[in-house]
Amino acid sequence: MVDKSVNAGVTAQQGFALQRNMALFVILDNFKDKFEGAKYFVSLEHLEDIVFCFLNDHGHAVKAETYQSKKKANGSWRINKSLAEIIVKILKTGKSLESDPHPKCPNYDHTLYFSTNSTVELETKVKNSSKGGSSETFSENINELNSEVEFNALDEKLKEAIKKSLNQYDQFDEEILSEELNNLRFLFVNLTRVNKEQENQLKGKLDEVFTNKINDPKAALESLFKIFKTVELTYNQKNIARLSDKSKQVCSQDINKAIDIITTKSKAFDYWREQKSAISKKIGIKPFEKETFEMKFTLAFELFKSKDETEHQKILSFVKLNYQTCSSYAEEDCVDELIEKFLYSNSSNLDKDTLKATVYAAYFESIYKTEH
């Protein structure tokens, strides 16, 4: 079935910022427990605002987690038509995942999150006939103190009230969708409401997760944002959202590679700043050239990722093959050796300073990637 709504959000770039930020927040907030070392992909504005699909070694889906990410201008979410409309959409996503042709493991399951940075106040009042008709209130608040609640863990009276609100919504097919309620969860994500503040919060998360491994959280965050740029602007083909549509996926390999580069660059920068004088003297960087060298060195890490930059790729490959043959013990002496070896057997169209910065970056890229 063609669904034109699957592309409706593509024109609303502000919505993507929230979803991208929310996706990164979820990854960083659960990095050690769930995402580090896992094989997965994440999609934005595809089947759902955010979809994480965890894979086995054969690429088959083991588990999917979807996030309908909503912010509220003011007040809290309550049991009403607005919340019912969102939940119906979430449950439909669950049915779409079940029928999606992407290969799945026999024990595949999925979790459907209604995620928000506003409080969810679920409340219903029920008349108690045994107490003279007085009303009894049942409630559950999802907030920073109680951040995740399963639908099945709610009081039966609250579940009944939510189901009643869904039944009053025209697009709810109880027979088809009610079983997906077992997969529904309410999630409070302590993410601020303004994009700029969200970015500051994500920088803090990067620093929290990777401690002193990241030298420049702002540059690190920009590197992660770049990974999402292509999928943010990609339309679903023929208006049909498919889990297996690779054009909408950001893969864990790309995210991990970006994190590796970010942390490797930081280690290299730390060493450069500690040993700047010794390195400059050894590889012939004059005092007035140090700032330019540092800029070219920073850029090299990004150019290593581009297949179009054949010269940088050639240098990186050379250093990876030869860095272990260096006879020196100090880092700057090893870099000096590699520059000499490279120029002895290769020609380069890079100027002298760019070559030095690129070999230096390639050396740190090589030694720290081997450690992982």
SS3 letters across the chain = CCCHHHHHHHHCHHHHHHHHHHHHHHHHHCHHHHHCCCCEEEEEEECEEEEEEEECCCCCEEEEEEEEEECCCCCCECCCHHHHHHHHHHHHHHHHHHHCCCCEEEEEEEEEEEEECCCEEEEEEEEEHHHCCEEEEEEEEEECCECEEEHHHCCHHHHHHHHHHHHCCCCCCHHHHHHHHHHEEEEECCCCCCHHHHHHHHHHHHHHHHHHHCCCHHHHHHHHHHHHHHHHCCCCHHHCCCCCCHHHEEEHHHHHHHHHHHHHHHHHHHHHHHCHHHHHHHHCCCHHHHHHHHHHHHHHHHHCCCCCCHHHHHHHHHHHHHHHHCCCCCHHHHHHHHHHHHHHHCCCCCCHHHHHHHHHHHHHHHHHHHHC
pLDDT at 8: 42
Q: Which residue has the higher pLDDT, 308 or 314?
A: 314
Query: pLDDT-derived band of residue 31, with 50, 70 and 90 as boundaries?
Result: very high
Selection from 125-129, 138-142, 353-357, 364-368 with the highest mean pLDDT: 138-142
Task: Examine the pLDDT at 150 and tell me if it is beyond 90.
Answer: yes
- Phi–psi pair at 184, nearest 5 degrees: -80, 135
Average pLDDT over residues 135-154: 94
Q: Which residue has the higher pLDDT, 132 or 262?
A: 262
pLDDT, averaged across the chain = 84
> Which pTM does this prediction carry?
0.74
58 touches 8 (CB < 8 A) = no
The DSSP bridge partners found for residue 54 are 40, 63
92 touches 183 (CB < 8 A) = no
Selection from 35-39, 48-52, 241-245, 280-284 with the highest mean pLDDT: 35-39
Tens of pLDDT, residue by residue over 157-181, are 999 999 999 988 766 677 777 889 9
pLDDT at 11: 39
pLDDT at 236: 47
Distance CA(232)–CA(11), nearest Å, equals 10
The amino acid at residue 176 is I
115 touches 68 (CB < 8 A) = yes
Query: pLDDT-derived band of residue 114, with 50, 70 and 90 as boundaries?
Result: very high
Query: pLDDT-derived band of residue 7, with 50, 70 and 90 as boundaries?
Result: very low
| Span of 14-28, 77-91, 194-208, 255-269 with lowest mean pLDDT | 255-269
